[in-house]
Amino acid sequence: MLVDELIRNGVRHAVLCPGSRNAPLSFALHAASLAGRINLHVRIDERGAGFLALGLALGTRTPVVVSCTSGTAVANLHPAMLEAVHSKVPLIALTADRPVELHRAGASQTVDQHGILGVETLHIPIAEQREGQHPMWRSLICRAIGRRGPVHVNVPFREPLVPDDDSSWPDDGREAWTRTETASKVSYGPAGHLSSRTVVVIGEDHPERASAAQHLGWPVIAAPTAGRNCLKHGTLLVNAGLPEHLEPEAVVVVGRATLSRGISRLLARTPTVHVVGDEDWPDPQFNATHATPWLPRPETVDHAWTEEWRATDKAVAVAVDELLAEEPWPTGLHVARELVEAIGEDAPLFVGSSNPVRDIDLVATPRDHVFANRGVAGIDGSVSTAVGLALASGPAYALLGDLTFLHDLNGLLIGPDEERPDLTIVVLNDDGGGIFSLLEQGSPEHELSFERVFGTPHHADLAALCAGYRIPHSLVDSAEQFRAALAIPRGIHVVEVRAQRAGLRDLHERLKSTVSTLLAR
């Protein structure tokens, strides 16, 4: 009944991990898949399974189930559920549990699973066949579907755990027990406190609100995941130091703008900061002067000033092109820009939360269909998330750093009976944590400790690792080879590009200096 009600509420994908206590759920999900009611994906690693479900939910924009047995299996879903919380992704953890009499009794694989995932837990007291249970189960699933963001449905089972017959699937043709709806319409409100010289900053946010914010009429600086209608080099402009005539008198912030320190400095020095959010509005530096759940409707827009921003952005684009043309290939900036240029406009692109998303933010042309795990901005589960996205959306691409790739290498482990995605994974391999080269710990005075505790070289043979998972691997040495390797994906293909970390800090400083010099003219 639980699985049936999930399907009646529109769930079309479920990720399942094998186990004993969740056997009733496994039999039900398998029967539903045989009946063509649900797409079932089986994985042996709960941590990767959670992120696979996250990617499926990102790609379909609908709730996705991930199911596992009790104990540490549940705990391994925690990273994906945390990302879902902060990204407001509709992920449903459907976990098995031991019955109450086995708790605090030394029973195997028995832990307190209430609140273990850091999200709201909807708990069934015990899954048993008795009068009045089915309506309660169905209502509970409807409540889970109606949540905005992730939820944990915890189901204790007593033995026996296997059915008499696992080959049939009940279908009485009913609709969902309770129909639920969530508000998605974007609303607008007054904005008399905002200047005609206002800049819009869009961070990680729901697509419909981000899209609406891009049409307010002011200059727009947007995160790579926010879409195409924005300045190409807005972040680079702000990082390099805005000239006085481009300084805004107000900033509207939509979503969590945490990618760039330059944006943080802009918010700190701007007298009026209007943040758009729900009860937890995005304001980590406490700069907000106004907070509303609606987008501000401009009363006046200085169109000449907005055009100045756009003209400056175009001039910066020319300067960036000239700088990268003189720089030996490859760098992360080259790879990010050329990847975006080479793939189709409708192809989904997943980017890792370390340097790749920042490289795209700095130099790539803004585009739609860019995804990233920026809720908590970890590198966890990135391969699995990209696989889920590709399964949901068709042929896709991913751009990951080497540590991010290695961190979720098991995302490549897909059984022979499972659906395989069409996904090209580009790995920029600079043998360690390149992002730290750009932070304070990468400065020359910390050279003694940097390489071992921040750079963390690994010398891993990515080709051999891919071979172990039976995944095709290509090592490219030139821009021409790179572009040729980006043909429309057929199956999973890993494209490795090797780069050096040694000159990374200097390159970014020269990029910033080039733009600063241009702006000072």
Please state, in angstroms and rounded to a whole number, the distance separating the CA atoms of residues 45 and 182. Answer: 32
521 contact partners, CB below 8 Å, separation of at least 6: none
pLDDT over 70 at 168, yes or no: no
Are residue 193 and residue 106 in the same domain, yes or no? Answer: no
Are residue 395 and residue 306 in the same domain, yes or no? Answer: no
499-521 average pLDDT score = 92
**Which CATH number fits the domain that encloses residue 152?**
3.40.50.970
**DSSP designation for 365:** P
pLDDT over 60 at 63, yes or no: yes
Q: What is the pLDDT of residues 418-468, one digit of tens each?
A: 999 999 999 999 999 988 888 888 888 898 898 899 999 999 999 999 999
User: Hey, which bits of 147-267 come out as E strands?
Assistant: 151-156, 188-189, 198-202, 220-222, 250-254
Which tokens go with 250? 């107000």
Are residue 337 and residue 433 in the same domain, yes or no? Answer: yes
Per-position b or e across 60-78, b if 16+ CB within 10 A of its CB: beebbbbbbbbbebbebbb
34-49 average pLDDT score = 96
- The pLDDT of residue 282 is 86
Number of domains observed in the structure of the chain? 3
Are residue 435 and residue 297 in the same domain, yes or no? Answer: no
Percentage, residues of the chain above pLDDT 70: 96
pLDDT band at 11 (very low <50, low <70, confident <90, very high): very high
pLDDT band at 330 (very low <50, low <70, confident <90, very high): very high
Are residue 346 and residue 465 in the same domain, yes or no? Answer: yes
**Residue 335 is assigned to a structural domain of this protein:** yes
83-100 average pLDDT score = 91
Of 246, 278, 312, the position where a domain reaches its end is 312
Q: Which region among 177-186, 240-249, 373-382, 419-428 has the lowest average model confidence (pLDDT)?
A: 177-186
Are residue 233 and residue 367 in the same domain, yes or no? Answer: no
User: Hey, which bits of 293-395 come out as E strands?
Assistant: 295-296, 349-351, 370-371
**Residue 171 is assigned to a structural domain of this protein:** no
Per-position b or e across 469-487, b if 16+ CB within 10 A of its CB: eebebbebeeeeebeebbe
**Residue 176 is assigned to a structural domain of this protein:** no
Query: What is the average pLDDT value for the chain, to the nearest integer?
Result: 91
322 contact partners, CB below 8 Å, separation of at least 6: none
If 0-12 CB within 10 Å is exposed, 13-18 middle and 19+ buried, where does residue 115 land?
A: exposed
- The pLDDT of residue 211 is 87
Are residue 115 and residue 147 in the same domain, yes or no? Answer: yes
Of 312, 339, 362, the position where a domain reaches its end is 312
What is the domain range of residue 27? 2-156
Please state, in angstroms and rounded to a whole number, the distance separating the CA atoms of residues 377 and 374. Answer: 4
**Residue 420 is assigned to a structural domain of this protein:** yes
pLDDT over 90 at 125, yes or no: no
Using DSSP, state whether 314 is helix, strand or coil: helix
Please state, in angstroms and rounded to a whole number, the distance separating the CA atoms of residues 370 and 357. Answer: 10
Please state, in angstroms and rounded to a whole number, the distance separating the CA atoms of residues 106 and 274. Answer: 54
Of 249, 278, 312, the position where a domain reaches its end is 312
pLDDT over 80 at 408, yes or no: yes
- The pLDDT of residue 252 is 95
156-160 average pLDDT score = 84
- The pLDDT of residue 144 is 86
Are residue 258 and residue 381 in the same domain, yes or no? Answer: no
Are residue 375 and residue 447 in the same domain, yes or no? Answer: yes
388-405 average pLDDT score = 96
Percentage, residues of the chain above pLDDT 90: 68
Are residue 31 and residue 56 in the same domain, yes or no? Answer: yes
Q: ω before 330 within 30° of 0 (cis)?
A: yes
pLDDT band at 47 (very low <50, low <70, confident <90, very high): very high
**Which CATH number fits the domain that encloses residue 271?**
3.40.50.1220
- The pLDDT of residue 165 is 65
Please state, in angstroms and rounded to a whole number, the distance separating the CA atoms of residues 459 and 236. Answer: 32
Q: Is the dihedral of CA 468, 471, 474, 475 positive or negative?
A: negative
Q: What is the pLDDT of residues 261-282, one digit of tens each?
A: 999 999 999 999 999 987 778 8
**Residue 177 is assigned to a structural domain of this protein:** no
**DSSP designation for 204:** B
**Residue 482 is assigned to a structural domain of this protein:** yes
Please state, in angstroms and rounded to a whole number, the distance separating the CA atoms of residues 381 and 372. Answer: 11
Q: What is the pLDDT of residues 16-28, one digit of tens each?
A: 999 998 999 999 9
Please state, in angstroms and rounded to a whole number, the distance separating the CA atoms of residues 299 and 147. Answer: 35
pLDDT over 70 at 183, yes or no: no
- Identify the residue with better confidence: 313 or 107: 313
Are residue 495 and residue 385 in the same domain, yes or no? Answer: yes
- The pLDDT of residue 101 is 73
pLDDT over 70 at 129, yes or no: no
Are residue 467 and residue 372 in the same domain, yes or no? Answer: yes
Cβ-contact 79, 51 below 8 angstroms: yes
**Residue 168 is assigned to a structural domain of this protein:** no
pLDDT over 70 at 130, yes or no: no
- The pLDDT of residue 201 is 95
Which tokens go with 73? 């299996």
- Identify the residue with better confidence: 148 or 325: 325
Which tokens go with 312? 């400056």
**Residue 20 is assigned to a structural domain of this protein:** yes
φ, ψ dihedrals at 291, nearest 5°:
-140, 125
pLDDT over 60 at 167, yes or no: no
Using DSSP, state whether 26 is helix, strand or coil: helix
Please state, in angstroms and rounded to a whole number, the distance separating the CA atoms of residues 387 and 181. Answer: 29
Q: What is the pLDDT of residues 200-257, one digit of tens each?
A: 999 987 778 888 988 899 999 999 999 899 999 999 999 999 999 999 999 999 988 9
- Identify the residue with better confidence: 122 or 84: 84
